[in-house]
Structure 1
């Protein structure tokens, strides 16, 4: 047991990060060396209610409180200390979506998550009006679609925010967002690091005939950049976060960020020519750009780093869910055979089988579309596995094609950046569940992008660690020290990294798979239209 760690906990020199991901809420407490001291987590799942993917507010707070309590119990168990003081706290969450509140701070409609592909008309109209890509997931697309649908609650909206912004607001009273998270609500002006005023004016003009009792700028959260103070934990907030009542109020909070931004921080991918891929329930690639793209692409979203630098985002709604279901099926088979299996060992064994497959996965085809997929223009999804009579159907190729397809939709967007826009990318940092088995997910992604892919040791803690680092930057940065400088000098200086370079045979094989993937979309379309 480290005396330094005990002293840091007792004196409140730790930093807490909590991220609300799609399937897990995780809390990570870090020390002065930025290494995790204690963790806690809570598993949860979105529900499909009235044709809408959602989580209830009760589930939000149950998960936040449970993950915090597990982390605090971990501190108590390891160090014999009751956690009362923390140097700073940060909250992160799945980006985008729609949380609209009235004057009494009541939620007007159930939380509409990023997973809902229901704003096609709004997305297209706003993209054309702004000459700027507005994805279906973005909060402004949800708001405008609700206006187009003439939903009753629209006139009652007084505050619009995201999941991370909501939790932060309830704990601090501050209606704010970090600039990276805000860039998934409404386009950001890179010069002012605030919402684009021209586009705000265009939106207000667009809805002026509706005679709504609000202007857009009146209902959006304020925008903050990394390093700025975003308020402190109130007495009410402390009791809400820690139901035991031990945690003290007054703790400073950093700006709440989205999981894309915290993934960039956790992989040290905030500098130009760097990129990272988060692979879990969804998959998205973030590439920090040296310059603007030549035109608007519906497949590419433009967001920012937590410090406000321009980022191209290739996002796919589906990644590992169908793959996880197949692994679960193999687990059920083992159980039926009376064979006990460790889940981690099962994943590792099956993933390593994929390395033995043919470069093109034997001509097999799979779509893991559990939900709609905007990258390929599907509002609904149907998970599919397809093979021809000439396919080489074996376990290795079966696993390989499911890993291939996990990155398939995202690759369509990345090909635009790398092949059409000639964006320069030195390497990609991978994080998320698909990279846990050493070398497998990395190798597949390296083949997909034809770029070296690295995984860092500490990136295993993911976005919760990333938002904790942003909290540390807020209270520990030197004057004028940039986020990039802080991370390079203080966090990643001795970081162990494992890199996999692309194998030319695998690159060629993945390109062959993508030909099947694109031509086979007609099969997916038929399944959506004919199988309920």
Structure 2
């Protein structure tokens, strides 16, 4: 078997996906049967500098190169051959945010990530002008807010993009985005599958007073759909990716996508009435719509699948960060007692303990707002744990509370889709760290959304696997073969998964918890204003 795989690696019958997540960069190399044959990761963290959540370009390249080198080393040690060629490569990253560059390709201001809630004025003005919801995270909101703030870098802009688009540009020389990622930059025209030209014209008219030397259409990347040619790895790009110098140039690279699009692919949820939820540092749920929404909602983003179908997204900035911090405290406590506990065991033990908690968490309340939360209208956040004298305060309820509250803001957004808009959702597929402990995250999500929740065993590699599949699709699809058919009939035809149905006592308990959650938002507001 190793001999066959060695030959496949040497002949480039593989695809590589690399995804830049909020806390981890991950690489996955897959074979022609779409199975991971090597993987690696690199942990990194954003920084809060001058009231901006950011990552430095130095950290971007350090992380990418280390992650790739670790994967190449695994290939070499496992199969006995250097990684010199690959069938196709794809890059993806956390969606949205703002990266601006001048004519020389120099970065003008630090990367502003999706986590920043600093564009409220721009978001409101553009939403009114376009009659289309423009979330604070979107690149166009960041650009317009910079104009409103009269930031000195704005006249020098020659190109704006996202993190995935930046990586792709530097490695291929092409300024392009996959349509799913592009839909978090500026609204998409579903008919042309390009940026909406009417809205571009409205933006240019809105900003004429600023007398910029550029027009919006000239600083945006080109939009591509899944399967289109995204370029090839240049000589310079090959050396940037593989500092050891083994990797050859000329490798095809698929259009860069965002973590939303790769999550859809990794869970085979790009068809109508399907949905997926990615839960980790942030949490977002997406439903592929059969029709457009009846009106504009500030809580709901409209994006697209990698093929350009309309998707409604409920996105919460905060999910497991505060929960992870609490688990870190428990780990520290164990070490003080002289106990060394494996992290996976710690998580599994405490997550499973939450299953013993009361369906409504015994009257406990928490907010994991490490950063602001647009769904509940907070520009900043303060993690809180709250209880009354009558609450049933025990560890099981404590853990269940923190799992529930990780989904609190998401629940508010999803209720708009499933109740007010009556969007059809037959089941939702989950991926991300929230679902890593078998059955627990699924049970909590089913209670929150009152729909069956499935987790695909094959989706364990997450978005990195998803972008590897998109790279594979670009080079191996048959003529006129849709991505939906490619995934359903080839990739997922024999993939197993497990589905949990919602239990009504849990659904009822989550509803009680959410009543408490909404009433308690005034406590969170007071904390933000006071601390």
Tell whether the structures are fold-level matches, with TM greater than 0.5. Answer: yes
- Residue 473 of structure 1 corresponds to 473
Shift of residue 39 of structure 1? 0.6
After superposition, what is the alpha-carbon deviation per residue over 1:286-310, rounded to whole angstroms, capped at 9, x for unaligned? 1100000000000000000000000
Shift of residue 183 of structure 1? 0.1
CA distance in 1: counterparts of 2:56 and 2:229, whole angstroms: 29
- Residue 194 of structure 1 corresponds to 194
After superposition, what is the alpha-carbon deviation per residue over 1:429-456, rounded to whole angstroms, capped at 9, x for unaligned? 0000010111000000000000000001
- Residue 75 of structure 1 corresponds to 75
Matches within 5 A, 1:225-264: 225-264=225-264
Shift of residue 410 of structure 1? 0.6
- Residue 161 of structure 2 corresponds to 161
Shift of residue 458 of structure 1? 1.5
- Residue 12 of structure 1 corresponds to 12
Q: What is the aligned length?
A: 531
- Residue 179 of structure 1 corresponds to 179
- Residue 57 of structure 2 corresponds to 57
After superposition, what is the alpha-carbon deviation per residue over 1:239-295, rounded to whole angstroms, capped at 9, x for unaligned? 000000000000000000000000000000101100000001000001100000000
Shift of residue 7 of structure 1? 1.3
- Residue 268 of structure 2 corresponds to 268
Shift of residue 112 of structure 1? 0.4
- Residue 434 of structure 2 corresponds to 434
- Residue 353 of structure 2 corresponds to 353
Shift of residue 6 of structure 1? 1.3
Shift of residue 55 of structure 1? 0.3
After superposition, what is the alpha-carbon deviation per residue over 1:42-75, rounded to whole angstroms, capped at 9, x for unaligned? 0000000001000000000001101100100010
Shift of residue 460 of structure 1? 1.0
Matches within 5 A, 1:298-377: 298-377=298-377
After superposition, what is the alpha-carbon deviation per residue over 1:494-531, rounded to whole angstroms, capped at 9, x for unaligned? 11101110000000000000000000000000000001
Shift of residue 489 of structure 1? 1.0
- Residue 93 of structure 2 corresponds to 93
- Residue 30 of structure 2 corresponds to 30
SS of alignment partner, residue 39 of structure 1: strand
Q: Which runs of 5+ in 1 are unaligned?
A: none
Shift of residue 93 of structure 1? 0.3
CA distance in 1: counterparts of 2:3 and 2:523, whole angstroms: 61
Shift of residue 4 of structure 1? 2.3
CA distance in 2: counterparts of 1:451 and 1:330, whole angstroms: 32
For the pair 1:496 / 2:496, whether they are aligned, the reply is yes
CA distance in 1: counterparts of 2:164 and 2:219, whole angstroms: 16
SS of alignment partner, residue 291 of structure 1: coil
CA distance in 2: counterparts of 1:385 and 1:484, whole angstroms: 43
SS of alignment partner, residue 100 of structure 2: strand
- Residue 278 of structure 1 corresponds to 278
Shift of residue 3 of structure 1? 2.6
For the pair 1:508 / 2:508, whether they are aligned, the reply is yes
Shift of residue 2 of structure 1? 3.0
CA distance in 1: counterparts of 2:488 and 2:185, whole angstroms: 29
CA distance in 2: counterparts of 1:424 and 1:511, whole angstroms: 21
CA distance in 2: counterparts of 1:220 and 1:229, whole angstroms: 18
- Residue 400 of structure 2 corresponds to 400
Provide the TM-score with structure 1 as the length reference.
0.99
SS of alignment partner, residue 153 of structure 2: helix
Q: Which runs of 4+ in 1 moved over 3 A?
A: none
CA distance in 2: counterparts of 1:283 and 1:68, whole angstroms: 26
For the pair 1:288 / 2:288, whether they are aligned, the reply is yes
Shift of residue 324 of structure 1? 0.2
- Residue 458 of structure 2 corresponds to 458
CA distance in 2: counterparts of 1:85 and 1:188, whole angstroms: 35
CA distance in 2: counterparts of 1:259 and 1:435, whole angstroms: 16
